[in-house]
A = this chain, B = another copy of it.
Amino acid sequence: MLHLIKQLAIRNDTKIVLLVADGLGGLAIEPGGPTELEAAATPNLDALVAENVCGLSLPVAPGITPGSGPGHLGLFGYDPLEFTIGRGVLEALGIDFDLGPDDVAARGNFCTVDADGRITDRRAGRIATEIARGLVEKLRDVRIEGVKVFVEPVQDYRFVLVLRGQGLEAEIDDTDPGRTGEAPLAPTALTPGSERTAAILKEFVAQAADILKDDHPANMITLRGIAKRPPIPQMEEVYQLRSAAIAVYPMYRGLARLVGMRILDAGRTLDDQIAALRRHWEEADFFFVHYKYTDAAGEDGDFARKVTCIEEVDAQIAEIVKLGPDVLIVTGDHSTPAKLKSHSWHPVPVVLAAGSCRRDEATAFGEAQCLRGGLGQLEAKYLLPLALAHAGRLAKFGA
């Protein structure tokens, strides 16, 4: 599909906006009750739905609950089963680390080991971020010949390790044994090509163990999700789109950077983000605007707060519409029902607004109405091709 789109994509001066309310899809708390989106007062989104086309987006496949990585790759038009992002890479993206194409990234955990080197706490008593910062500072003293080593704090007991150098490969097993009572595993290469990198990681772990030996409870580390950036075709090359991301959270800026988007200064609030959209309107063809708090409220199991967050998104719709995008899509990267307090596999409401929409019967934005929408239930990866089509940016296939 991506190959086909690349063949057909053409440039013009249309504008596409993709507004992602993270974790938008929900569930009723009481049987027969409304979902978060149905409970919210969303006059602007309802008007979009009434005049355009809606449906339900399947982030990956029926039953599959996506993380943020696959959820967004799908929305950016990439098959999330074909392009997968390692945890180390995602962790690096999550702290805005500018990962190079040849860098190897790992998620690090501080842990506690006993006198025999066996893990007694895989999270080192969940030490505070401030303490972890100090330990990360110490780990920056590690020196390994032939590579540049970056150690960056994340949150609590978590950090990111990045190796930069020539010929590094990342087919290497986790060192976290996954349970207490065992010593951390040695970094083990799964392919001959990764052996040198495994040896470098082994050296890193040895130096780290020495540096941390008198620190309690964080006297050791484990490494997980060792990975390189996947080779993803860039949006400009595939879609002929100058694309830009306006995201407050680093993880989503990182995901956008992976596919070649320009990162705009998003500010701190959705208001700031819409202002940035307005300010940069002439500078790109495709804008990805990411709103985090719907997901956060869902994860917290806070139905009412998620409703309020959705209403906050709705209030900005009119501002976006004023800019006159040729295509506007509003959806989520997955569902995060407050009822489940977690990401879920449920399809996500989506509305696509454009002059060339074939209208459906839906009159308001919500899960039940979207079920009867003109887009049907479709895989998220088809939304971007649809946007391109409505923007007049896809040539005819075949004669």
A356 to B341, CA, bound (A): 12
Residues of B within 8 A of A68 (CB): 398-399
Interface residues of A in 49-97 (CB under 8 A from B): 51, 56, 60-71, 80-81, 84-85, 87, 90-91
* CB atoms of A382 and B67 under 8 A apart: no
A4 within 8 Å of B (CB atoms): yes
Scoring A28, A64, A344, A376 by chain B CB atoms within 10 A of each residue's CB, the highest score goes to A64
A192 within 8 Å of B (CB atoms): no
* CB atoms of B398 and A84 under 8 A apart: yes
Interface residues on A, range: 35 or more
* CB atoms of B358 and A389 under 8 A apart: no
A142 within 8 Å of B (CB atoms): no
A232 within 8 Å of B (CB atoms): no
A27 within 8 Å of B (CB atoms): yes
State the Cβ distance, A344 to closest chain B Cβ, in Å: 7
State the Cβ distance, A21 to closest chain B Cβ, in Å: 17
State the Cβ distance, A160 to closest chain B Cβ, in Å: 13
* CB atoms of A65 and B371 under 8 A apart: no
A322 to B356, CA, bound (A): 39
* CB atoms of A361 and B356 under 8 A apart: no
A396 within 8 Å of B (CB atoms): yes
A4-40, CB under 8 A of B: which get 1 and which 0? 1000100000000000000000011001100100000
Residues of B within 8 A of A337 (CB): 356
* CB atoms of A398 and B345 under 8 A apart: no
Scoring A337, A356, A360, A395 by chain B CB atoms within 10 A of each residue's CB, the highest score goes to A356
Interface residues of A in 376-396 (CB under 8 A from B): 376-378, 382, 385-389, 394-396
A372 within 8 Å of B (CB atoms): yes
A374 within 8 Å of B (CB atoms): yes
A206 within 8 Å of B (CB atoms): no
- Assess A358 versus B66: contact at CB under 8 Å? Given A372-B372, A382-B61: no
Residues of B within 8 A of A374 (CB): 371
* CB atoms of B63 and A394 under 8 A apart: yes
* CB atoms of A397 and B67 under 8 A apart: yes
- Assess A85 versus B359: contact at CB under 8 Å? Given A31-B51, A64-B8, A386-B345: no
- Assess A399 versus B69: contact at CB under 8 Å? Given A61-B385, A62-B382, A63-B388: yes
* CB atoms of B371 and A360 under 8 A apart: yes
Residues of B within 8 A of A253 (CB): none
Other A-B contacts than A225-B399, A337-B356, A345-B389, 5 sampled, CB-CB below 8 A, are: A65-B389, A66-B397, A70-B397, A360-B371, A361-B371
A356 to B338, CA, bound (A): 11
- Nearest B residue to A55 by beta-carbon distance? B377
A340 within 8 Å of B (CB atoms): yes
* CB atoms of A389 and B87 under 8 A apart: no
Scoring A81, A340, A398 by chain B CB atoms within 10 A of each residue's CB, the highest score goes to A398
